[in-house]
Amino acid sequence: MTEKRTVCKNDILKQLYFQENLSCVDLSIIIEKSFPLTQKLIEELVADNLVTETGYAVSSGGRRPLTYAIQRNVMYMVAVAMDQFVTKIAVIDMQNHLVSSVTRIFLSLTETHSALQVLIDNIAGAIDTSGIPKEKFIGIGIGMPGFIDVKKGINYSFLSLPDNESITKHMAFQLGLPVFIDNDSSLIALAELRFGAAKGARNAMVINIGWGVGLGLILNGALYRGHEGFAGEFSHIPLFLNGKLCWCGKAGCLETETSLLLIKERAIEGINSGRVSRLNTLSLENHETAYQELIKAVQEGDQFTIELFSKAGYNIGKGVAVLIHLLNPQKIILSGRGSAAGKIWEAPIQQALNEHCIRRLFQNTNIEISVLGLEAQLIGAAALVMENYNEISFLKEETTGFELSQL
């Protein structure tokens, strides 16, 4: 018997996770319930010590509103951010803070079989060492590259199980907690929507500049995933007639003309053919050090590196021009590791828009650089769990041991 007021209370908790310090009036508007009802529910939540008053906010022309926040130790979630080589695991509380330091494991996604089990063991380990009782965990959110069917919980590119078995169900069964997966770029977009540069935006495109180029779409205020969950395949739109073969099998994909990987390769080529630069060839060999080196060079104003970033930026801009024509977004947000290069991206992208986009369409579209940066994917993974909190709390009511088969 799920009482309606419980559903509302859970909704309030969810809203307070996504936005600290909301007043009772704010909440009543967000959850679309009357003020007296909202107030009564908050009162009960405060009595149960799930929510605390956080003082008075400034007046907006009337009595000063009391604001509330969720207690950070009420619930916890495990956030997992994977890329092809490195996986980061963190335990995150209700105020989006890391409970302890991030666990980093080197895990190659292509080694299908063992990788999944290693991941599961490490998540279990992270829960254990956190010292937090397991009942306080509400779920595990995982972001990884690949074609992911969010609903079925299948990654068609990596970590696939025999017979297309759902990896979320598989993991949930082993770990005893609900598991949610999504594409890395989608989770970065979710993080930007809830806590970053896209906060409150109804329509935003979040470009994930990384070793490849990803895209997370915020449409009508929510993450858009498409029919099967594959939306946002930005890096393989056929935009160039360069004849260059992409690893996807097609030629002329956006990714053949822009990405950190490409910048790295062009940097090595350039130096080998005698270009003057502050870049240190040695450090370019390893992916991780190459990334550090490139960002440093840009920040120090190295002309050659800036040239490379500018060309890549211009090509991203050509892709963005297509996005703007089709989706008329309010904001374009540059996120992912590449966003560390900062303002350097803006001019070449703007230039590409000037050349390839109808003026009326982009004149009110803002290009912004993420401030979440490398943190984005972990925050997004945590947010993914809370996005699904409605169903989670329902299951918790139903059975004490979770109906994991349903997840």
Partner DNA sequence: AAAACTTTTTTAATTATTTAACAAGTTTGT
Partner DNA sequence: ACAAACTTGTTAAATAATTAAAAAAGTTTT
Shortest spacing between CB 201 and DNA, in angstroms: 23
According to the binding rule CB under 8 A, does residue 33 interact with a second copy? no
According to the binding rule CB under 7 A, does residue 30 interact with DNA? no
Single out the residue of 25, 86, 105, 124 in contact with DNA (rule: CB under 7 A).
25
Count of residues making up the chain = 407
According to the binding rule CB under 7 A, does residue 47 interact with DNA? no
Binding segment for DNA among 2-10, 254-262, 338-346, 395-403 (CB under 7 A)? 2-10
Phi, psi (rounded to 5 degrees) for 41: -65, -45
According to the binding rule CB under 7 A, does residue 390 interact with DNA? no
How is residue 344 written in tokens? Answer: 């350097």
Shortest spacing between CB 6 and DNA, in angstroms: 8
The number of C-alpha atoms within 13 Å of 233 and in the hemisphere containing its C-beta is: 14
Kind of pairing between the strands at 179-183 and 366-369: unpaired
Encoded one letter per residue, x for contact with a second copy by CB under 8 A and - for no contact, window 173-212 reads: -----------------------------xx---------
Complex with a second copy: residue 37 or 248, whichever CB lies closer: 248
According to the binding rule CB under 8 A, does residue 341 interact with a second copy? no
**Window 52-91: residues binding DNA (CB under 7 A):** 56, 58-66
According to the binding rule CB under 8 A, does residue 322 interact with a second copy? yes
Q: Of DNA, a second copy, none, which one does residue 56 interact with (CB within 5 to 8 Å by kind)?
A: DNA
Complex with a second copy: residue 303 or 354, whichever CB lies closer: 354
**Rounded CA separation 355/300 (Å):** 29
Encoded one letter per residue, x for contact with a second copy by CB under 8 A and - for no contact, window 264-303 reads: ----------------------------------------
From the list 41, 43, 20, the residue with the least C-alpha distance to 31 is: 41
**Window 346-365: residues binding a second copy (CB under 8 A):** 355-358, 360-361, 364-365
Binding segment for DNA among 36-44, 109-117, 286-294, 380-388 (CB under 7 A)? 36-44
From the list 281, 289, 341, the residue with the least C-alpha distance to 311 is: 341
Which H helix or E strand runs over 51?
strand 51-56
Q: Are 108 and 74 in contact (CB under 8 A)?
A: no
**Rounded CA separation 93/99 (Å):** 7
Complex with DNA: residue 39 or 108, whichever CB lies closer: 39
**Rounded CA separation 31/16 (Å):** 11
Residues 6+ away with beta carbon under 8 Å from 388: 139, 178, 180
**Rounded CA separation 129/138 (Å):** 17
According to the binding rule CB under 8 A, does residue 390 interact with a second copy? no
Complex with a second copy: residue 139 or 348, whichever CB lies closer: 348
Shortest spacing between CB 194 and DNA, in angstroms: 22
Single out the residue of 224, 271, 287, 347 in contact with a second copy (rule: CB under 8 A).
224
Q: Are 387 and 190 in contact (CB under 8 A)?
A: yes
**Residue 178 — left, alpha, or beta (φ > 0 → left; ψ -120 to 50 → alpha)?**
beta
Single out the residue of 1, 47, 241, 326 in contact with DNA (rule: CB under 7 A).
1
Complex with DNA: residue 31 or 219, whichever CB lies closer: 31
DSSP string of 164-221, one letter each residue: G--HHHHHHHHHTS-EEEEEHHHHHHHHHHHHSTTTT-SSEEEEEESSSEEEEEEETT
According to the binding rule CB under 7 A, does residue 34 interact with DNA? yes
Which H helix or E strand runs over 55?
strand 51-56
Q: Of a second copy, DNA, none, which one does residue 66 interact with (CB within 5 to 8 Å by kind)?
A: DNA
- CA dihedral for 22, 24, 28, 29, sign (positive or negative): negative
Q: Are 213 and 316 in contact (CB under 8 A)?
A: yes
The footprint of a second copy (CB under 8 A) covers: 147, 156, 202-203, 215, 217, 219-220, 222, 224-234, 236-239, 241, 248-250, 318, 321-323, 325-330, 355-358, 360-361, 364-365
The footprint of DNA (CB under 7 A) covers: 1, 3-5, 8, 23-25, 32-37, 39, 56, 58-66
